[in-house]
Amino acid sequence: MAQKMKKGVVRDSKKKTTKKTDVSKVSVTKKTAVKKTPVANVSQEEVLLQALRGMRDILPDEQPYWERVRKVLSHAAQEYGFQRIDTPLVEFVHLFTRSIGNQTDIVEKEMYTFQTRGGDKVALRPEFTAGIARAFIEHGMGVLPKPVKLFSVGPVYRYDRPQEGRYREFWQGNFDMFGESDPILDAQTIQLAYRVVQQLGLKNIEFQVNSIGVPDSRREYTKALLRYLEAQRGKLCQNCRDRLVTNPMRVLDCKEDKCIQLTTHAPQSLDYLDQESRDHFKRLLEYLDELELPYTINTRLVRGLDYYTKTVFEIWSSDKEGKKYSLGGGGRYDGLIESLGGEPTPAIGFGLGLDRIILEMKRTQVKPYQEAKPKVFLAQLGDMAKKKSLRLFSELEKNGILLAESFGRGSLKSQLRVANRLGVEVTIIVGQKEALDDTAILKDMVSGTQETVTHERLVDAVKKILKSNQLLQG
Ligand code: AMP
């Protein structure tokens, strides 16, 4: 990309798409660092040293949060019998237009689409379900014992307007179950979503549920909704006026105050459900009550993607001022597999927005994941000691002892300083004499005592000290 950029042209930073910027005048701040020297000999062009708008680096500082989220997700997946699946970031555009729907914001405005050198029209995945449904069909997973439960985690891409909590590259954890239509699966899916947010320590979470029925009943509902909205057309925002033609149900999703007010008394999908969808929804609510999972029915919840049928749900958090953030959502999509050419297969799933979950963890001061700290430090002095220490390090590690070292540092003093900073309980010192004797000095940092032990005895001696310290600490 960079090589194709004209000198000094800033691409896609807000509306600067074609605006020329004199990069030599751009101040070098954290966000707009610009390398002023040409790159090697390959090209004389400037390289913009900044991530693309709406995309960001997840730096080491932030990783403990991500680690905690990843651990909770994969633990929950395991508990509920989900198997991990990874699908490509890139799929044929058609897969998304066919499953998500042509007249949705995602497909119309937000997909990253491009043509490959071979002429294929492809897109970066804007969500997981379409790719997973494709993989389900392609690999004949329909013959597996039902339900087939698949779990995925990774980045997705939407060309949205970036702001806090809204990025163009963001991460989702995604759970899908194929092959069962019983509402108990809907309840279990919601229970799993609960489990994840609870295990992450998030509070003030609200689950909203609704049913949007099946395509036949929805047609009736859409007609009634359209009649109602047409009468208010002049008062709707421009986007919603367009939606009247393309996807009237999306008007219920609009965040503009005037549209929210105008649709307060709009017809509700629940009043237009066919008998089966009605029973399904009723039973889902009974199961949720049985599981004592609190929920609210949000009759405006439609979730905007074409593939949803019957149950839809969303997970919200709210801050002190009452501002709400969507952390995830999902629903049933009983027609999707068949519409893509597979056998009729009911399914349900949900996606969690991991970036938002992490923002929420930070906001509510949930603790990030804490790596186990090393309790032992290995210090050495001289070449021979260094060599022997290398072997000792791997010996101790193999025996499950988490230890730190500072092989790169020469002086014993600076190594011991590192040991102190780490707050280890045991320091092992191999000096020149010990290297010759195949021994090591063991210093118990808690009691201050020290002893010399042979290499054969080292592992046991270290374990003994750690154990007695543990007993002391109760
Ligand atoms: P959706 O598929 O639109 O329901 O999105 C599922 C979840 O992904 C949402 O509830 C958000 O938590 C998260 N999400 C959606 N869009 C974005 C975005 N542009 N940036 C960050 N997170 C997002």
Domain coordinates in residue numbering, the chain: 60-363, 376-473
C-alpha to C-alpha distances, 78 to 114, 130, 459, nearest whole angstrom: 36, 23, 34
Q: Which of 2, 39, 31, 37 is nearest to 14 (CA)?
A: 31
Q: What is the C-alpha to C-alpha distance for residues 202 and 72, in angstroms, rounded to an integer?
A: 12
Q: Please give the Cα distance from 347 to 186 (Å, whole number).
A: 9
158 lines ligand 1 (CB under 6 A): yes
> For 35-39, 267-271, 466-470, which range has the lowest pLDDT when averaged over its residues?
35-39
The angle subtended at Cα 239 by Cα 207 and Cα 339, nearest 5°, is 65
* Superfamily of segment(s) 60-363: Bira Bifunctional Protein; Domain 2 (3.30.930.10)
Q: Which amino acid is at 340?
A: L
pLDDT digits (tens, 9 = 90+) for 145-180: 999 999 999 999 999 999 989 999 999 999 999 999
d(CA 196, CA 68): 11
Q: Ligand 1, closest atom to CA 354?
A: 12
In angstroms, what is the span from residue 165 Cα to ligand 1's centroid?
A: 9
Using DSSP bridges, classify how beta strands 113-115 and 121-124 pair: parallel, antiparallel or unpaired: antiparallel
Tell which one of 125, 172, 205, 363 to mutate to probe ligand 1, the residue whose CB is within 8 A of the most ligand atoms: 172
Which atom from ligand 1 is nearest to the alpha carbon of 166?
20
Say how far apart CA 192 and CA 435 lie, in whole Å.
55
Interatomic CA distance for residues 391 and 157, integer angstroms:
46
Burial of 390: CB neighbours in 10 Å, binned 0-12, 13-18, 19+: middle
CA pseudo-torsion sign 347, 210, 307, 220: positive
Query: For residue 166, what is the DSSP state?
Result: B
Task: Check whether 269 has a pLDDT greater than 90.
Answer: yes
Please tell me the distance from the alpha carbon of residue 109 to that of residue 123, in angstroms, as a whole number.
12
**Atom 10 of ligand 1 has which residue's CA nearest to it?**
328
Structure tokens that stand for 65 in this block: 């949060």
Pick the more confident residue, 91 or 48: 91
| Domain 376-473 in CATH 3.40.640.10 | no
Query: Is the confidence at residue 29, as pLDDT, over 60?
Result: no
Of 306, 207, 327, 206, give the one whose Cα is nearest residue 250: 306
Please report the pLDDT score of residue 306 as a whole number.
Answer: 80
Where does the pLDDT of residue 368 fall: very low under 50, low under 70, confident under 90, or very high at 90 and above? confident
CA 313 to centroid of chain Cα atoms: 18
| Ligand 1 atom nearest residue 165's Cα | 21
Report whether 23 contacts 36 (CB < 8 A): yes
| pLDDT greater than 70 at residue 38 | no
Cβ of 326 closer than 6 Å to ligand 1, yes or no, is yes
pLDDT bracket for residue 206 (50, 70, 90): very high
What is residue 23's predicted lDDT score, i.e. its pLDDT? Answer: 34
Q: Which of these, 367, 362, 368, 357, lies nearest to 205 by C-alpha position?
A: 357
Distances (CA, A) of 370 to 61, 65, 247, 367, 374: 12, 9, 46, 8, 12
Which pLDDT score, from 0 to 100, does residue 474 have? Answer: 62
Q: Report how far residue 348's alpha carbon sits from residue 335's, in angstroms, rounded to the nearest whole number.
A: 11
Q: What is the pLDDT of residues 373-407, one digit of tens each?
A: 899 999 999 889 988 998 899 889 989 999 998 88
Contacting residues for 171 by C-beta, under 8 A, at least 6 apart? 153, 154, 155, 156, 353, 354, 355
Whether 33 shows a pLDDT value over 50: the answer reads no
Of 90, 127, 89, the closest CA to residue 107 belongs to: 127
Q: Does residue 170 line the site of ligand 1, with CB under 6 A? A: yes
171 in contact with ligand 1, CB cutoff 6 A: no
Question: How far is the C-alpha of 451 from the C-alpha of 449, rounded, in Å?
Answer: 7
**Atom of ligand 1 lying closest to residue 303 CA:** 4
Label residue 207 left, alpha or beta by phi (over 0 means left) and psi (-120 to 50 means alpha): beta
- Average pLDDT along the chain: 88
Residue nearest atom 5 of ligand 1, based on CA coordinates: 328
